[in-house]
Amino acid sequence: MQLYFSPGACSLSPHIVAREAGLPITLVRVDTKGKKTITGDDYLSINGKGYVPLLELDDGTRLTEGPAIVQYLADRAPQKKLAPANGTIERYKLQEWLNFITSELHKQFSPLFDPSMPEDAKAKFRDKIAARFDWIVAQLGDKPYLTGADFTVADAYLFTVANWTNYTGIDLARWPLLQAYMARVAARHDVQAALKEEGLLK
């Protein structure tokens, strides 16, 4: 399998999941601005959406969209408990988390990386993100991970997105519980390995 990625982008989530699942993948770095792979291939000819992640299976099948990719990877290694079994209410709860993170959190960060976005507009998006973090903290409570005792694909996704606060002027110190959660996820061996491989560890 090949995972097309850009360091620190949302593709970090499936990168973490693949490592947690013990699945061998080959990383293919993408310049998302220039739409080229590290070898100079036209990325738009590979993924017409132009963004990462993209997972190419050994038979050539291509999957895009992080929440779909991480569930596919989790289902390849059910013994790792990265996603509950299909058809269970727990699986739908996991999908609820993935949808919330992608629509209510991930997309709120995008304007903060846009240099043409006025600062007053960015402030409004930071406020929206803060409200989402308030809600997440209330749901997290005293659980180690979003759905309980087990680290799941939703945690990999939330960790990836919340890590963008380091680059967007949002201080997680306002949410000590979330800050502790991020440290807990960051300390995982496979998370450390993914961060190191993407050049994100100082």
Taking only the tens place, the pLDDT of each residue in 147-178 is: 999 999 999 999 999 999 999 999 999 999 99
Same domain as 172, residue 100: yes
H helices within 25-143, ranges in order?
A: 66-76, 89-100, 107-109, 119-140
Taking only the tens place, the pLDDT of each residue in 2-40 is: 999 999 999 999 999 999 999 999 999 999 999 999 999
Same domain as 182, residue 100: yes
Range of the domain at 174: 89-188
Q: Are 30 and 36 in contact (CB under 8 A)?
A: yes
pLDDT mean over 53-77: 98
* Token pair recorded at residue 82: 């990265």
The CATH number of the domain where 164 resides is what?
A: 1.20.1050.10
